[in-house]
């Protein structure tokens, strides 16, 4: 049994004094693409923030590529190749698309090859190449999301975390972005992705995990992820 790429064990974290994660455990094995699903406000984003060191882990441990990264500062975690693309439009609003992408390769390892990576990103999102000298403030929501994912790719991730990249986008844009994410997976980048559409997750990811009330639900094995069951869990419908 090879060592998992990411191993989160009994993680407790939260905001103020309020825990959001109650001893959550999760692992990503080599060559695995993990999909996370679950109602909003149940700890998916908190989990990622704790993994990438944006908030401290109160208990438990995070191991990445066999090394303990619990308590490391965020930039050091990013340098190791664990790249987290946060939810929402988190960019440098007054910089151009090109500058944003450029800075995505700031860490020493991706910096050397940033021009090559940039070409790959432009090939994936041709629209970004057209808009490269435009300030991110002036972009549409979908384009910003492309820049955000592009910045993540610029960091040459060994594991890429995409926190609900299609949030708030029109169905057409969602489809476009999903195709792009499919291409990223096909190119061999390992990732964890949050999505609210079980159908989409089942098509792209190799395993799906349900996060509820700060814990993962083990009974949610691959294949049993049915639309009706999700509706029931979200909305209490029969």
Give the binding site for other proteins (CB under 8 A).
52, 54, 73-76, 78-79, 83-86, 90-95, 99, 102-107, 111, 151, 154-155
CA dist 208 and 196 (Å) reads 12
Distance in Å, CB of 146 to other proteins, minimum: 15
DSSP H helical ranges for the chain: 44-51, 74-79, 97-104, 108-111, 114-124, 126-130, 141-154, 171-186, 198-204, 227-235
Distance in Å, CB of 16 to other proteins, minimum: 12
CA dist 142 and 17 (Å) reads 35
CA dist 118 and 176 (Å) reads 20
Tell the residue number behind the tokens 């455990």, with chain if given: 25
Distance in Å, CB of 175 to other proteins, minimum: 26
Q: How far is CA 10 from CA 24, 60, 149, in A?
A: 5, 5, 29
Distance in Å, CB of 165 to other proteins, minimum: 14
Residue 31, Cβ density class (10 Å: 0-12 exposed, 13-18 middle, ≥19 buried): exposed
Distance in Å, CB of 92 to other proteins, minimum: 4
- 80 or 202, CB closer to other proteins? 80
- 38 or 155, CB closer to other proteins? 155
CA 149 centroid distance within chain? 9
- 73 or 203, CB closer to other proteins? 73
- 103 or 233, CB closer to other proteins? 103
Q: How far is CA 97 from CA 38, 136, 147, 189, 206, in A?
A: 32, 6, 7, 22, 32
Distance in Å, CB of 194 to other proteins, minimum: 16
- 30 or 93, CB closer to other proteins? 93
- 158 or 207, CB closer to other proteins? 158
């Amino acid at each position: 049994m090879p060592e998992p790429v990411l191993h989160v064990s009994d993680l407790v974290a939260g905001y103020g004094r309020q825990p959001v994660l109650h001893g959550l455990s999760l692992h990503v094995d080599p060559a695995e693409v993990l999909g996370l699903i679950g109602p909003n406000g149940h700890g998916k984003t908190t989990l990622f923030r704790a993994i990438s060191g944006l908030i401290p882990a109160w208990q438990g441990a995070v191991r990445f590529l066999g090394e303990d990264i619990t308590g490391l500062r965020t930039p050091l975690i990013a340098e190791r190749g664990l790249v987290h693309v946060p939810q929402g439009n988190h960019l440098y609003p007054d910089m151009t698309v090109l500058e944003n992408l450029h800075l995505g390769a700031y860490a020493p390892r991706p910096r050397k090859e940033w021009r090559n990576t940039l070409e790959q990103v432009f090939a994936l999102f041709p629209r970004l190449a057209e808009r490269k000298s435009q300030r991110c403030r002036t972009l549409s929501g979908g384009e910003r999301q492309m820049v955000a994912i592009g910045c993540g790719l610029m960091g040459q991730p060994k594991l890429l975390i995409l926190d609900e990249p299609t949030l708030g986008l029109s169905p057409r844009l969602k489809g476009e972005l999903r195709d792009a994410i499919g291409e990223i997976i096909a190119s061999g980048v390992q990732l964890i992705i949050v999505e609210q559409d079980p159908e989409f997750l089942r098509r792209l990811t190799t395993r799906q995990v349900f996060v509820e009330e700060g814990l993962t639900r083990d009974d949610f094995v691959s294949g049993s992820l049915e639309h009706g069951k999700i509706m029931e869990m979200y909305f209490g419908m029969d």
